[in-house]
Structure 1
């Protein structure tokens, strides 16, 4: 059975599952240098993605559209013709509603109309997290924490036979984190709701500050008074019935906070708010687990929703001792919602079975017309390692990975030993200098350089750079000494693993800088030609060829 999941709106994507195996997932931001978080509003994109994989809409047995909170504001068309569709809600409407579909017709693809299903948005997060997890593969149960922008953190319990809601941990919508930037720090001149990248930038910026217990006390007291209190004033907020009223309450909370924190540095206020939320998360998770004692089997945790990209919170949950194991998929935010929609269709028919999948299921590198001044020569990975050892960055281009993080498929790689390399890469990418550059490291040696240094193939947990290495690999050390580590097995078939082995032979170091290859505010380069036209990195390697401006083979 073939199921096609479709995520409309921001982070638009199309995914196809066939017989419990992911065939592909195309996030629209990874097409044609599209903007980050590119929406799908024209269903021709579905037809194109299917055709590139040898499929026609009639080859799909079931279309599933991800649920959403909005009912208008998105103009849907197929070709030039307007299309009117309905979809499921954001959150399940009753305890048994996770796999209750809203069934519709009128999905117009290539001039033909198809029926479709739609499941709640949280169902997609739940199924994408659990079905891709090692717990599903082992037939084990797991708790699943879903914390997205417009909902309180919701805890579920899931096993192959079904899923059920446990409870909300506390009354703070996920957007509260990004909204803090509207009131403190360098991003107060933009709306956090309109700029979906603010939360990630904020995670980098807080390294400039320090946690201040007096500030945390201010946030805690105002939270208890204004957001946690069971008062009539908060009735609509606690009901999560209106995003507008929820966001208004959050802004009032921060306005009151700012009045009490005038004498404090904004970076300290933001770092302290991050710490306040982390403590609240662990405290309330502990309390819930102490109350909920009727869940047999291993105590595992899956994390999904946009807040699943917060590596420090993920790490705090993993280090808390509350769980035997913690899993975060490489697409915890809405970039995984098309996969989740398809998994929801699969779960409705077969239960919560494991999905066979690969991180390298994004779009293949497209062929593009290379600029005439760029020329290519065959180049081995050993030779490429020599360029990197000579302190020259390289664009490394191949099939796109799933999710928002560059994991070696569409990356700029560079030596980590150069003191100026981090600033150089941020200059190349026109980014703020406080933004970190991630390391990619051979898995079997990661513990030498990082703590805990556990396998982390998707950059989803926080690691401390060991003190004795911070001055030796400064380009990948964040301002607070941490690193957003990516590990890769020495035996992986991915070319970046082979490159790291060659670089290790030359330098003794098994790691490199890894940052995304893209235009500012755009998705990963879809082809080597785009990287050449961009021209801010001298060397571009793809499919065994090294492209260099003005060089001749």
Structure 2
């Protein structure tokens, strides 16, 4: 019996996972415990959870694998340092910080002093981890693996062919050229300055026109082999000025990536406090179009090279669900898989599975497929009851009714009825989702038929930009009737066009361009959520509910106490905690 602990440490979205004999046991991001979005640092609480879930201690872990390797691409790093003009003091500062962070055994002793680690630490190259996180848990015996992100271990993209249990990195794009940096720079330029704000550009893009595509052609050059290069005249990161990414008090941040020359192409940047104008919407649309052109240029090249019809994606850019939804129509690939944590958190899984295959050799046969995302903490009925009892006076002050409904069919029917009445539901069930998406266990649910539901949610709970869409969770068997593309999308990683004749029926989950970032729900992956949507279909004829994450400008709730806090401080109508139905 071999346990391998996988880590993403000292970077945004710190996370841990545990693999036992080639099977995932647990996986969770540290932000869910620390309650700070994208928390970066050493994921001690995530490690504790993974060990507890398996019922073991650190002494039982044979290997710890981390998704970065300082030795990777060392000659490229040295050549760049010698030719770029970056100050020696900056380089030394970065090297010192990296040495401190890569002492994994020391960090385990410091952060988990009550436990002893006797195993071996493995440093695994960043993009190999991304590729492994997608291919080695995918349903495909053979597939092209592609990773695209900002930067990791001095590269920004990588690709290779996965066959059975074998996976190798065959090509890549290296610092300072990065499709992720291009998209992040455009995100900053439009006035979204925080780490992880790129999804806002995706949501804004359909409101604009691609009027700046020609100008953006001067920002990034595409090559026939699928690679790309930034025009460094417009970016600051290669000089060290913008390469000052840091994590302070767990909060990741980075410097401004674009320089003032870019205003000659696109006009003045938007101040984050200023209102959005049509020009900003057009820049967002143009940035998305430019990203897609580069992305599909790469996919076309790797398909031609490997000649297989399946592709798996990872890296932070794998969260570009709009581009992912166009793979079938704009690339030769016929099958696609993107696991639920495609970004750096997911690299912990890649590190663990890559290490398992390395240490076990020919004995390590792929047999695990990640077909659901429910790998995080759960709450027992006793824990839920205790959390409710601790807040009884607050429930009384809000005139709440608390009922225990032990029959699942009755619970789902009651919740579906509340949804059909236009109520906003907090839905807390089972194990926490792995990755950034709420997928029916830590979700806020609403009626997709109500044209005012987006405004209701933004007013009552989310308090976010009005242009951002809400997602449809749909029964897998109904996708072909409601969407133009029929495929499995269990992790909400693709945007498909909703059939034109259906859009008026589900306005709350139909974006301005007629699309929806769907989640397909199966009875096998999530029986209770499937039963709830089925009950709503019986009432309404619509096999879809609106699904958004259970939070209010914070990480998705993890514990019942956090769900209760969110319910009580917002204007949510109903809270369903396991079998307990609480209504205002």
Matches of 2:133 and 2:36 in 1, distance apart? Answer: 24
Q: TM-score, normalised to structure 2's length?
A: 0.78
Matches of 1:502 and 1:148 in 2, distance apart? Answer: 40
Matches of 1:490 and 1:15 in 2, distance apart? Answer: 25
Matches of 1:417 and 1:513 in 2, distance apart? Answer: 9
What's 2:518 paired with?
485
Matched, 1:382 2:408: no
1:167 to 168, 171, 189: 171
| Matching of residues 518-537 of structure 1 within 5 Å | 518-527=551-560, 528-537=563-572
Matches of 2:134 and 2:471 in 1, distance apart? Answer: 24
Query: Is the contact made by 1:180 and 1:254 (CA closer than 8 Å) also made in structure 2?
Result: no
1:436 to 449, 453, 469: 469
What's 1:364 paired with?
378
Cα deviation for residue 208 of structure 1 reads 1.6
What's 2:578 paired with?
543
2:299 to 266, 285, 295: 285
Matched, 1:499 2:532: yes
* Residue 72 to residue 459, structure 1, CA distance change in 2 (3 Å): farther
What's 2:504 paired with?
471
Query: Is the contact made by 1:169 and 1:285 (CA closer than 8 Å) also made in structure 2?
Result: no
Cα deviation for residue 523 of structure 1 reads 2.8
What's 1:325 paired with?
335
What's 1:98 paired with?
none
What's 1:60 paired with?
61
Cα deviation for residue 43 of structure 1 reads 3.6
* Residue 223 to residue 492, structure 1, CA distance change in 2 (3 Å): closer
Cα deviation for residue 340 of structure 1 reads 1.8
What's 1:419 paired with?
451
Matches of 2:4 and 2:557 in 1, distance apart? Answer: 26
What's 1:25 paired with?
27
Is there any run of 5+ residues in structure 2 with no aligned partner, and where? 71-90, 246-253, 271-276, 396-400, 406-410
1:514 to 547, 561, 570: 547
What's 2:442 paired with?
410
Matched, 1:129 2:134: yes
Query: Is the contact made by 1:148 and 1:174 (CA closer than 8 Å) also made in structure 2?
Result: yes
What's 1:392 paired with?
423
What's 1:347 paired with?
357
What's 1:92 paired with?
none
Which deviates further from its counterpart, 345-354 or 471-480?
345-354
Provide Cα deviations, 1:203-258, integer angstroms capped at 9, x if missing partner: 1111221223xx21111134349x96799989998999x95699887546634422
DSSP-derived class of the 1:513 partner: strand
1:258 to 239, 259, 266: 266
Equivalences, count: 509
DSSP-derived class of the 1:353 partner: coil
| Matching of residues 216-227 of structure 1 within 5 Å | 216-224=213-221
| Matching of residues 66-145 of structure 1 within 5 Å | 66-67=67-68, 84-86=100-102, 107-108=108-109, 109-111=112-114, 112=116, 114=118, 115-135=120-140, 139-140=141-142, 142-145=143-146
Query: Is the contact made by 1:519 and 1:525 (CA closer than 8 Å) also made in structure 2?
Result: no
Matches of 2:501 and 2:463 in 1, distance apart? Answer: 31
Provide Cα deviations, 1:454-473, integer angstroms capped at 9, x if missing partner: 22111111111222222221
Matches of 1:330 and 1:223 in 2, distance apart? Answer: 29
1:309 to 301, 316, 319: 319
* Residue 154 to residue 471, structure 1, CA distance change in 2 (3 Å): same
Matches of 2:235 and 2:555 in 1, distance apart? Answer: 40
Cα deviation for residue 488 of structure 1 reads 1.0
Cα deviation for residue 519 of structure 1 reads 2.4
Query: Is the contact made by 1:531 and 1:540 (CA closer than 8 Å) also made in structure 2?
Result: no
Is there any run of 5+ residues in structure 1 with no aligned partner, and where? 77-82, 88-102
What's 2:17 paired with?
15
Matched, 1:154 2:158: yes
* Residue 174 to residue 381, structure 1, CA distance change in 2 (3 Å): same
What's 1:272 paired with?
286
Cα deviation for residue 490 of structure 1 reads 4.8
Query: Is the contact made by 2:424 and 2:445 (CA closer than 8 Å) also made in structure 1?
Result: yes
DSSP-derived class of the 1:471 partner: helix
Matches of 1:221 and 1:47 in 2, distance apart? Answer: 48
| Matching of residues 201-220 of structure 1 within 5 Å | 201-212=200-211, 215-220=212-217
Q: Which has the higher helix share?
A: 2
What's 2:483 paired with?
450
Q: TM-score, normalised to structure 1's length?
A: 0.82
Alignment RMSD, CA only? 3.6
Matches of 2:102 and 2:493 in 1, distance apart? Answer: 34
